[in-house]
Structure 1
Amino acid sequence: MQFQDDIIAYTERAALGALMLDGDQLAQVSRWLRATDFADPWHGEVFKTLLELHRAGGTTDPQALGAALAERIRPRLADLPRIHEVLAATPERPDTLTYTRHVAETGMRREVGLQGVLLEAGALGAAQAGESRTMTGTCDLVDAALDTVQERWDRSRGRTPTAGLGPVRLRAMAQDPARFLRADRQVTAGPRRDVGVERVNERRLMASLMLHPSAIGGVAEWLTPANLTDLACRAQFTAMLDLTRTCTGVDPVTVMWETQKLVHVAQEPVDLAAVRAAVEEVRLHGEAPERLAANVAGDQLRRIAENATFHIRTQAGNSMLDVGEAIGVGRAFTTTLRRVATALPHERLDTGDRHLALVPTPALDNAAGQASAAVMSR
């Protein structure tokens, strides 16, 4: 909104003017304020110049600033008449710390709000490659950025930082502003989600779990019925989880019997013929549950990352909420994405010999397979 943009620009000018008049405040302000927090790039250059003057032991008055700025970025880009605009926006008795906190908060909210696109790019890469390393690495990077913002937020409020800073390498990478542009280009150029394909993947996974019940526990570690997009699959997975908890045998007949009791979950009668066809297809092709689980996990990563982009941006953009709350939302999504990524191998293996959490037990799976064959032969 134009009004909000005008207020931000006005506050940035007032903050810079206050720092020009009282350069001693730069030592404290620099603990939480960055040049990238300024929405106006020229304001960011002015702040960098003020910091350089202060650290060199020089004065930060308008004349010294103008000369140093022209030397740093050349006279044309320095646009020295704008320094008068900065001074004109500065009250007679400026509250330097308050103004700079406002500028820093705006920058922090902007930085937190952009983390979602990184998660989308990581999810896309992991889904396409069929491996978890891309997703977990992206989550590490996002968490490092959130930790850094949390530290700055605490310092700007006069609190002892509570976030544990990650490795220096990750912290440096998290401060690269170009990473957002690269991620956005990757997401824009990548294929869009196909909900139809996602539902087919879910149906095939449910069919495979009916044939390989020993894999149900492993899938349940990262997938819940509520996260399935296909309502019939929600009911089937709920039934399988209930049967597993009660140590009841799991096979297509038992699952479908229990599923018909869960019409309130599926919201409509489950198509028995479609389920039987899916079970038969999976059985004939001998598709292992870990492979089908990896497909669904890739779909889940992309869906969750899309939701993350919306919710993180919404929370960060709501000035009525504490920045720490937006950071908490971001961390909740990285935790969820890491958990789902465990269904994928750490690295892509061309041999197909993937090491996953799903380890079928032959005895249980053979029993389920025999029951399925009996049903399909009817």
Structure 2
Amino acid sequence: MPHTPKPDEDALDAVAPPHPVFHVEQALLGAFLLEPQRLNEVTGVGPDAFSTAAHAALFAAISSLPAPDPAEHATHPQWLDTVLATAREQAPGLTAAYLHSLIQVCPWPPHAPAYARMIEAEHCRRRLAAAAQRLVQSAHDTSLPLRVASTFDETDALGGVLDDIATRFPPHAGSLPRTPTPPQATTHDQDALDEERLLLATATAHPSSIEQMRWLTPGDFTHPLHAGLWQCLTTLIRRDTPVDPVTVLWEAQHRGLLGAGAQPRELLELLAGPVGSPEHWGERVLQRSVLAGAHHLGRRIEAFTHDPANTPYQLVVGSRRALADLTAVWTRWQHATTEPAPTTRPARTRTATSTAAPRAGPPPTTALPAARTPR
């Protein structure tokens, strides 16, 4: 028969703890309340490491008050009254009964350092999950004026969290997480498809630009046919073969692209009508790939943190492995957005927050601001 709390029963004690760490926090706080001198044995946790506001307020109160004499504390519990009064300033719902229940549930006060280490580990998990969520939000937020720059910043912040966790819990070999990787999000964006088509058309019309666009790979495209056509173009350039819609069509036939639903006439029409420059559309395609990669990275790390079986060591190793995949895309983005080197000065790299002029866009009907320098 389920337990029904009495009207005067402490609500904090009646609520079922959502996670095992709740019990660990109770044990640690009970150890401090029973033997306050144990606080000197504990490092690595602060009020923000606790999962509830009530526990955070109790820890803050215990940490801020001088520990009583052990012999006096054993016979006169006035210190507990002071802790309760101080903690109630932040958590008014705390009661003396709850403090006594914490003392009762503590199995062994000398184990306080072990309890603190468990709480520290769970706090690291929550911090990493929050950093991953911010990265996903940044990659999706179309209202950001500098979306890629903001995503860069969130990636750096996530890396900083990982570094801090690795300092606290140094990873060891053979500790990859076993959490399944979430599937890559499927993009059905008409703007992305249009930009990829314009890139293919302009690159076919201006094949000399393709050699300078090694920073773009087939994996950056959202449509398999477009990725295959980009491979056709780069292959023709590598062979020093003439490039035009007909030669691309012939190469596409050899790669089996026509059997995937694309008809010859449709493919020729796709490659016609160049607008702007290949570099402009290539950067647009790569930018979407960067943001999609950041979104997938955030979801992978979120999946790691949501799996309670993963230890802090596994979180560090798995997240760093995932971060390395995105770093490769960041590197290509930096190559794509690097200004040409002046003849008399060293090369100047356009950073994520730079205001340097981007590539030329479409003609005046849909043109970018005049300040942008056309090729």
Structure 1 SS opposite 2:330 = helix
CA shift in 2, pair 1:76/1:288, >3 Å:
closer
Aligned to 2:179: none
* Structure 1 Cα separation of the partners of residues 35 and 111 of structure 2: 10
Q: Note the 1:66-145 alignment, pairs <5 A.
A: 66-71=81-86, 73-74=88-89, 77=92, 79-81=94-96, 82-92=98-108, 95-124=111-140, 129=145, 132-145=148-161
Q: Deviations over 1:39-59 (max 9, x none)?
A: 112112222223323xx5667
Task: Choose from 299, 318, 321 the match for 2:307.
Answer: 318
Q: Say yes or no: does 1:335 pair with 2:347.
A: no
* Structure 1 Cα separation of the partners of residues 195 and 79 of structure 2: 65
Task: Choose from 27, 31, 36 the match for 2:48.
Answer: 36
Q: Deviations over 1:319-338 (max 9, x none)?
A: 33322224314533552453
Aligned to 2:3: none
Q: Which has the higher contact order (CA 8 A, sep 6+)?
A: 1
Q: Is the 1:115–1:142 Cα contact (8 Å) retained in structure 2?
A: yes
* Structure 1 Cα separation of the partners of residues 144 and 89 of structure 2: 46
Q: Is the 1:18–1:96 Cα contact (8 Å) retained in structure 2?
A: yes
What is the identity, as a one-letter code, of the residue corresponding to 1:243? L
* Structure 2 Cα separation of the partners of residues 85 and 261 of structure 1: 75
Aligned to 1:259: 252
Aligned to 1:46: 58
What is the identity, as a one-letter code, of the residue corresponding to 1:254? T
Q: Say yes or no: does 1:289 pair with 2:301.
A: no
Aligned to 2:8: none
Q: Is the 1:19–1:26 Cα contact (8 Å) retained in structure 2?
A: yes
TM-score (structure 1 length as normaliser) = 0.68
Gaps of 5+ in 1: 160-191, 357-378
Q: Is the 2:138–2:150 Cα contact (8 Å) retained in structure 1?
A: yes
Q: Say yes or no: does 1:210 pair with 2:226.
A: no
Residue 211 of structure 1: CA displacement?
2.7
Q: Note the 1:241-252 alignment, pairs <5 A.
A: 241-252=234-245
Residue 233 of structure 1: CA displacement?
0.9
* Structure 1 Cα separation of the partners of residues 212 and 16 of structure 2: 52
Residue 6 of structure 1: CA displacement?
4.4
Q: Say yes or no: does 1:200 pair with 2:194.
A: yes
Residue 86 of structure 1: CA displacement?
1.7
Q: Is the 2:200–2:230 Cα contact (8 Å) retained in structure 1?
A: yes
Aligned to 2:29: 16
Aligned residues: 310
What is the identity, as a one-letter code, of the residue corresponding to 1:79? L
Gaps of 5+ in 2: 1-14, 173-185, 338-349, 361-375
Residue 280 of structure 1: CA displacement?
2.5
Task: Choose from 219, 232, 255 the match for 1:226.
Answer: 219
Q: Note the 1:137-176 alignment, pairs <5 A.
A: 137-154=153-170
CA shift in 2, pair 1:80/1:294, >3 Å:
same
Structure 2 SS opposite 1:50 = helix
Structure 1 SS opposite 2:358 = coil
Q: Note the 1:331-370 alignment, pairs <5 A.
A: 331-332=323-324, 334-336=326-328, 338-339=330-331, 341-342=333-334, 343=336, 346-347=352-353, 349=355, 353-354=357-358
Higher normalized helix content (fraction of residues): 1
**CA root-mean-square deviation:** 3.6
Q: Is the 1:14–1:99 Cα contact (8 Å) retained in structure 2?
A: yes
* Structure 1 Cα separation of the partners of residues 102 and 54 of structure 2: 11
> Which of structures 1 and 2 has the bigger CA Rg?
2
CA shift in 2, pair 1:211/1:74, >3 Å:
same
Residue 313 of structure 1: CA displacement?
0.9
Using the TM superposition, name which of 78-87 and 239-248 deviates more: 239-248
Residue 151 of structure 1: CA displacement?
1.9
Aligned to 2:364: none
* Structure 2 Cα separation of the partners of residues 332 and 39 of structure 1: 31
Residue 235 of structure 1: CA displacement?
0.9
Residue 227 of structure 1: CA displacement?
3.8
Task: Choose from 286, 297, 302 the match for 1:308.
Answer: 297
Q: Is the 1:126–1:133 Cα contact (8 Å) retained in structure 2?
A: no
Q: Is the 1:204–1:292 Cα contact (8 Å) retained in structure 2?
A: yes
What is the identity, as a one-letter code, of the residue corresponding to 2:234? L
Residue 312 of structure 1: CA displacement?
0.7
* Structure 1 Cα separation of the partners of residues 142 and 330 of structure 2: 11
TM-score (structure 2 length as normaliser) = 0.69
* Structure 1 Cα separation of the partners of residues 260 and 143 of structure 2: 31
Using the TM superposition, name which of 244-253 and 314-323 deviates more: 244-253
Q: Is the 1:260–1:269 Cα contact (8 Å) retained in structure 2?
A: no
* Structure 2 Cα separation of the partners of residues 104 and 347 of structure 1: 35
CA shift in 2, pair 1:59/1:76, >3 Å:
farther
What is the identity, as a one-letter code, of the residue corresponding to 1:141? A
* Structure 1 Cα separation of the partners of residues 100 and 258 of structure 2: 66
* Structure 2 Cα separation of the partners of residues 208 and 9 of structure 1: 60
What is the identity, as a one-letter code, of the residue corresponding to 2:324? A
